[in-house]
Structure 1
């Protein structure tokens, strides 16, 4: 959320306000004094929610609860923001079928957590002469992952590595 100070009760300067009750019911457009009277009658605060609207939107709420809810939302948003990360898995060209399945299981768990995964096939020594084997390995891996993943970035050669980025289908 934004870091602008939120105006409450007497700090609200707008002469007309669109007021929403604490239960979510629309009270309509009221004058500032009428809105403050409604809030006082309910024993709650008048909080300016949307100051840039015409007329500004104010809600009758408990200020302490509102502030608490806002900090909780900010924490939740911060948690979600850093969740997506690029994970890397390296595959050798001579990987056995069982080892490949184990690596693919790990890729699936990364995808379920919401991460993107960079799958790298690395070439050793003279394997560079047979780059088509790397493409075949990555095609095999992506076809085995086709139920839960889609290709986000096509295969790319970078030095001795051939890489592809996959992400979850959701």
Structure 2
């Protein structure tokens, strides 16, 4: 039979607000009686020392689930397994959260047609993934005198992705940059 060390920290370091009393700490807090929930869901009121003895016999931990009621509610379980399950569920929840970041695509008013097609495909991909896209046309030097080229580029982009996007912010000039924000219809 394997010997396992029973005394462990009373706190689960998983970022939750719940702090569990474990083993001897349950005995110190509840010297007489605890309400023990068994594996099949039955609850019995037994002495704290008896509950701790049962936990040690089965190589598990006596964990206080709820201390706000009298007698405290305890359960015999593997604390490491509980901690692992809580961490795994938290990781799953973080994975399922969708972060809809804003992607930025920068172009110049004098862009090569092939480069423009590559940028269009990138914008289309971002929108199909559910992201917002900020398109910036940057004017350098005397290019600012030809703002109509920037508007034409943004209109071409708007037309190309019209079935998968909606316009959040119409094209407008801010300093030497013309910006437009698109968001996905798929979201």
Range of TM-score over shorter length: 0.5 to 0.7
What is the aligned counterpart of 1:99 among 115, 120, 126?
A: 115
- Cα distance in structure 2, aligned partners of 1:49 and 1:111: 46
Partner of 1:4: 17
Q: Are 2:151 and 1:135 aligned?
A: yes
Cα deviation digits, residues 88-139 of structure 1 (max 9, x gap): 2122223344332211112233345554322111223333233233223212
Deviates further, 79-88 or 89-98: 79-88
1:13-69 Cα shifts (integer Å, max 9, x gaps): 8xxx9x8x97xx9879x9798xxx8xx7xx987877899x99xx9998654333213
**Where does structure 2 lack aligned partners over 5 or more consecutive residues?**
1-13, 30-34
Aligned pairs, number:
163
List runs of 5+ in structure 1 lacking aligned partners. Answer: none
Corresponding residue number in structure 2 for 1:157: 173
Aligned partners of 1:8 and 1:45 also within 8 Å? no
Match of 1:122 in 2: 138
Determine the C-alpha separation between the residues in 1 that align with 2:155 and 2:125: 20
Q: CA 1:63–1:89 in 2, change beyond 3 Å: closer, same or farther?
A: same
Provide closer, same or farther for how the CA distance between residues 65 and 116 of structure 1 changes in structure 2, counting only shifts above 3 A: farther
TM-score normalised over the length of structure 1: 0.58
RMSD: 4.6
Q: Higher Cα Rg: structure 1 or 2? A: 2
